[in-house]
Amino acid sequence: MQYKFSPTLNAYATIARGFTPADEIEENFVVHPYRPEIATNYEMGLKSLLEHGVQLNAAIFYTNYADRLYLFQQLAEKQIIDLTTNVGPSKNYGVEFDVSAPLPDGFKVSAGMGYHSSGMGRGAKLHRSSDFSANQYQGPVRCNFAPAYTANTTLEWKHGFGGYELGWRATTSFVGRSYWDPQDAAYQRAYHLVNLSSWVERWHLETVGRLVHKS
């Protein structure tokens, strides 16, 4: 659903549902079934074009998973085996926004930020053994297979000169910690990227140079 407050301001709401179908799988010479994973997503947001060409967008979302599927590896008798199982329900929620504004002399600045959190409630079944027996977890666990937060800021410049378009862009991105398993045993540490690029364009030909730094 969408509602227009004015030609430059509207609000929207969406509901989406998807699933991974149930199946049977053979792992470690054992055939076992898994149930379908069902996800229901709710999102509400705002899109606007303000004075002086400033654009502002914002959104909140909530996703509810039933019978979430989890693929993991386990060491058994000096061999690494792949296992697939349902680990129970989980809930994801987050917020995000972005803003951009043109500046004098061909400059443009933009920034954005998002926050994401997810977890599995008390009673989630975390499979830890090769015979697929489930150990019931008696406390909340994170299930952040996505970064806890992201943020970015960009400064861009474009200028036409003698039939050429010259430009450069500097972007800094910040990516928060993300967990790779429900037990929070493995994770990707937070990091940030700096991306510097420049280009020259004439007609439909473009030459680009780029430098990326991660830390």
Q: What is the pLDDT of residue 134?
A: 43
The larger pLDDT score, comparing residue 127 to residue 28, is at: 28
Q: Is the separation of the CB atoms in 201 and 215 below 8 Å?
A: no
Q: Is the separation of the CB atoms in 110 and 97 below 8 Å?
A: no
The band of 184, judged by pLDDT with boundaries at 50, 70 and 90, is: low
**CA nearest to 41, candidates 13, 61, 70:** 61
Return the CATH fold of 2-214. Maltoporin; Chain A (2.40.170)
Question: Is the confidence at residue 145, as pLDDT, over 60?
Answer: yes
Q: Where are the beta strands (DSSP E) in the chain?
A: 2-6, 9-20, 23-27, 30-34, 37-49, 55-66, 69-76, 79-86, 90-102, 107-120, 125-127, 134-136, 141-142, 149-161, 164-175, 178-179, 187-188, 191-202, 205-214
The pTM score is 0.73
Q: What is the pLDDT of residue 182?
A: 63
Give the span between the Cα atoms of 42 and 15, in whole angstroms. 5
Q: What is the pLDDT of residue 175?
A: 93
Question: Is the confidence at residue 101, as pLDDT, over 90?
Answer: yes
Question: Is the confidence at residue 187, as pLDDT, over 90?
Answer: no
Digit-coded pLDDT (tens) for 53-88: 999 999 999 999 888 887 766 676 777 777 777 877
Mean residue pLDDT across the chain: 83
**CA nearest to 14, candidates 46, 38, 36, 37:** 46
Question: Hey, which of 5-9, 78-82, 136-140, 184-188 has the most confident mean pLDDT?
Answer: 5-9
Amino acid 170 reads A
Strands 141-142, 149-161: pairing is unpaired
> Among the residues of the chain, which ranges form H helices?
none
Digit-coded pLDDT (tens) for 19-56: 889 888 887 777 888 889 999 999 999 999 999 999 99
Digit-coded pLDDT (tens) for 86-95: 877 888 899 9
Instruction: Work out the average pLDDT over 93-112.
Output: 95
DSSP secondary structure letters along 66-82: ES-EEEEEEEETTEEEE
